[in-house]
């Protein structure tokens, strides 16, 4: 079974620029998560999708972050404009049900300068 | 603010010993508890889940839950150098959809 795919793996941008991340979950997994993990901290949930509907986005900074999951499969997370404090690893995860994230992608390491 | 607290470590144990990792949580409404292992520079991987008070064993891993004390632990028996990683504790509410709160993790070092 192919794992969760994410791209790009690394991104360096200047503050106030925009950036987008892509995630392809494990086939058949209905639930998709985006987490932000700042160095030395645990992952923080940004948004959780069930199929193509949003289950939870309470911690998503909606003034600058947006996410969508078209057709209940792939997902994109966008940041516009980026701030220095957005420097982190952005992890995409999926699970086959309403359970916890069971498979994480390799992550995208974002550096904002 | 729901919190999950872990000692950041590092916790150093010799090969073959039992490693004991601990976690406390603030939300009494938490119903599900998970342990993830994260190797340096890698993504987390789910290794244990526990929902009821008591012990749950899976191979060399045992998760222990005490809801009255709001305490969950992970024991690793016969620790191996390959167990050296950061262990993340996470709690969730069984409200139909799992929204997990992660701790900052405990770094475990197993020396040969």
* pLDDT tens, position by position, A63-96: 999 999 988 899 999 999 999 999 999 999 999 8
Determine the average pLDDT of the residues in A20-44: 95
- Chain B environment of A48 (Cβ under 8 Å): 97, 99
By C-alpha distance, the chain A residue nearest B94 is A99
* pLDDT tens, position by position, B39-61: 999 999 999 999 999 999 999 99
C-alpha A6/C-alpha B33 separation (Å) is 27
Predicted local confidence at residue B96, as pLDDT: 57
Contact flag B99-A99 (C-beta cutoff 8 Å): no
C-alpha B108/C-alpha A52 separation (Å) is 38
For residue B33, pLDDT beyond 90 = yes
C-alpha B31/C-alpha B17 separation (Å) is 30
Contact B36, B90 (CB under 8 A): yes
Q: Band the pLDDT of B2: cuts 50, 70, 90.
A: confident
- Of residues B43, B92, B97, nearest to A55 (C-beta): B97
What average pLDDT does the structure give for chain A?
94
Distance from CA of A101 to the nearest CA of B (A): 8
Predicted local confidence at residue B29, as pLDDT: 87
Question: Look-up: residue for tokens 């050296």?
Answer: B84
Q: Band the pLDDT of B17: cuts 50, 70, 90.
A: very high
Contact flag B99-A48 (C-beta cutoff 8 Å): yes
What average pLDDT does the structure give for chain B?
94
Question: Closest by alpha carbon to A31, among A56, A6, A7, A9?
Answer: A56
Cα dihedral A39, A44, A49, A53, rounded to 10, equals: -120
Predicted local confidence at residue A71, as pLDDT: 84
Q: Give me the helices (H) in A14-93, please.
A: none
Determine the average pLDDT of the residues in A32-39: 96
* Interface-testing mutation among B5, B42, B89, B100, with chain A (most A C-beta atoms within 10 A): B100
C-alpha A49/C-alpha A55 separation (Å) is 5
Contact flag B97-A98 (C-beta cutoff 8 Å): yes
- Of residues A40, A44, A105, nearest to B43 (C-beta): A105
């Amino acid at each position: 079974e192919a794992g969760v795919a994410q791209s790009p793996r690394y991104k360096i941008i200047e503050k106030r620029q925009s950036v987008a991340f892509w995630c392809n979950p494990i086939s058949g997994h209905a639930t998709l998560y985006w987490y932000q993990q700042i160095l030395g901290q645990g992952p923080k949930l940004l948004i959780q999708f069930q199929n193509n509907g949003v289950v939870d986005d309470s911690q998503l900074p909606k003034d600058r972050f947006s996410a969508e999951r078209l057709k209940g499969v792939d997902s994109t997370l966008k940041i516009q404009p980026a701030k220095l404090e957005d420097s982190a690893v952005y992890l995409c995860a999926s699970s086959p049900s309403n359970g916890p994230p069971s498979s994480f992608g390799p992550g995208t390491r974002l550096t904002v300068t | 603010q729901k919190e999950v607290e872990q000692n950041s470590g590092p916790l150093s144990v010799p090969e073959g010993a039992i490693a004991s990792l601990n976690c406390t949580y603030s939300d009494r409404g938490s119903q599900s508890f998970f342990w993830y292992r994260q190797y340096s520079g890698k993504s987390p991987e789910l290794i244990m889940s526990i929902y009821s008070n008591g012990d749950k064993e899976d191979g060399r891993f045992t998760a222990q839950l005490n809801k009255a004390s709001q305490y969950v632990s992970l024991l690793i028996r016969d620790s191996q150098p390959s167990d050296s990683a950061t262990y993340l504790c996470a709690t969730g509410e069984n409200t139909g959809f799992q929204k997990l709160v992660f701790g900052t993790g405990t770094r475990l070092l197993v020396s040969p």
